[in-house]
Amino acid sequence: MAEVVVSKTGLFSSCHHQNMSLFPKTSGSSNLSVSFPPKSDFHGQRIGLQQLGRPFPTPQFQPVHSQLQQPGFRIGKAHKWWEKGNQPNMKEVTSAQDLVDSLLNAGDKLVVLDFFSPGCGGCKALHPKICQFAEMNPDVQFLQVNYEEHKSMCYSLNVHVLPFFRFYSGAQGRVCSFSCTNATIKKFKDALAKHKPERCSLGPTKGLEEKELLALSANKDLEFTYTPKEVEAVPARAVEESFVTAPSCSVRESFPLPSTTLKSGKISEERSIVSAGR
């Protein structure tokens, strides 16, 4: 690219600040041209002359994604509202198998199933309260079930209203279930205080009910299998012995009922007389 130095004193004074064009003669048909508007003031700065007939170079713009990859340029991760304020004893369920295993592995702990939806305004407003309860009760396990991601599983569990909660306690299994909002948060407080275990429960942890496990297993959209437990058959001899050894009614011993006997085609009624002191 050819360059020329233009100064105000040397060039513009002789041209009386008129429009000026430079046409250097070249061997080819193309030439170089530059024009200056009146009252221009370059003060001896260098300017470039673009050869006529050739397009100006296209400006190079750096794409946005490349700017984001530059060192020192970071954007904070946008947390989902159901992840904000979560405590160590809060966990989001990933599958039906994860739900069943989490309930069985909880032992004697009280487990709270929290069914929510990202687009539910009531669920979003209630979430900070649930986080506070989880912080005040570290021995209670809170399981979050995303309705939008596990809609088929929620149908099998008969969950059709949000926000919805179910409480499970050791060998007792499900102890209560209800729906509540910020206006009715007292229901959640009362259930938490009532079913929080004070001592170890007797027997193995129950978890989901038998019919719920069968419903999850029958759902073709879920990768979950369940084998029903076999019911032990009671021997017939044991059943007969239980009837033989059963205690008789004391009412019959104190007050015998009238008995009827059939003699020679006639029915004679014999009444037993109970006389006290004779």
**Which residue from 91, 98, 129 is spatially nearest to 112, judged by alpha carbons?**
91
Show which residues are catalytic.
120, 123
Note the pLDDT tens digit of each residue in 3-47. 444 444 444 444 444 444 444 444 454 454 455 555 555 555 555
Domains of the chain: residue spans and CATH: 3-48 (no CATH), 81-218 (3.40.30.10)
What is the DSSP track for 10-73? IIIHHHTT--EE-----SSS--B--EE-TT---TT-EEE-PBTTSPPPPPP---HHHHHTSTT-
Note the pLDDT tens digit of each residue in 182-230. 999 999 999 999 998 776 666 888 999 999 999 999 999 998 999 887 6
Is 0.85 topped by the overall pTM?
no
**pLDDT value, residue 79:** 74
**pLDDT value, residue 203:** 81
Cα→Cα distances 83→25, 161, 258, 263, Å = 73, 21, 78, 89
Note the pLDDT tens digit of each residue in 245-264. 444 444 444 445 444 444 44
